[in-house]
């Protein structure tokens, strides 16, 4: 095999050595639910029976390998540090950080203006 071909294989081999959990980090977004605003958290797991916890609290999830859960915003605020920008999601003991939606912890009366621009 030529040296150039070997160099081209390195990213492929390194990419395949990373765990699947790191490739599919959990994600969050704000959604409406019956009790008001909720935080929708989604992710993947290798075992459908693997427990999921958020900031150290076990949560019930829907789905098998692709899971999701909805948490009322007030509940999540009680579980988090003030002005947190991430949450810790644990799946079967493996932890990952998930970014929270923009303005998650800003009270409406404190928010004067929020400008979002495309990249």
- The CATH number covering residue 86 comes to 2.60.40
Residue 59 falls within a domain, yes or no?
Answer: yes
Residue 25 domain-assigned? yes
44-76 pLDDT, tens digit each: 999 999 999 999 999 999 998 999 999 999 999
Strands (E), the chain: 27-33, 36-44, 52-54, 57-58, 66-72, 86-91, 94-99
Q: Does 44 reside within a domain?
A: yes
Residue 111 located in a structural domain? no
Domain presence at residue 110 = no
For the segment 3-58, what is each residue's pLDDT rounded down to a tens digit? 655 556 555 555 544 444 444 689 999 999 888 889 999 999 999 999 999 999 99
In a domain, residue 3? The reply is no
Instruction: Using the Cα atoms of residue 48, residue 35, residue 81 and residue 113 in order, give the sign of their dihedral.
Output: positive
55 lies in some domain: yes
In this prediction, residue 17 carries a pLDDT of: 45
60 inside domain: yes
Q: Provide φ and ψ at 89, rounded to 5°.
A: -110, 125
pLDDT of residue 105: 65
Give the range of the structural domain holding residue 74, as residue numbers without chain letter. Answer: 19-98
- The count of domains in the chain is 1
**Which pTM does this prediction carry?**
0.68
Chain segment 82-114, per-residue pLDDT in tens = 888 899 999 998 999 999 988 676 665 666 777
């Amino acid at each position: 095999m030529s040296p150039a071909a070997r160099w081209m294989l390195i990213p492929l081999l390194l990419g395949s050595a990373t765990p699947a959990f790191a490739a599919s980090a959990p994600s969050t977004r704000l959604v409406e639910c019956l009790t008001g605003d909720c935080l929708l958290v989604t992710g993947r797991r290798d075992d459908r029976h693997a427990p999921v916890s958020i900031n150290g609290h076990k949560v019930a999830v829907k789905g098998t390998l692709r899971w999701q859960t909805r948490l009322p915003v007030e509940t999540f605020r009680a579980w988090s540090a003030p002005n947190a920008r991430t949450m810790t999601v644990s799946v079967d003991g493996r932890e990952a950080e998930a970014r929270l939606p923009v303005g998650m912890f800003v009270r409406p009366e404190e928010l004067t203006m929020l400008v979002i621009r495309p990249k």
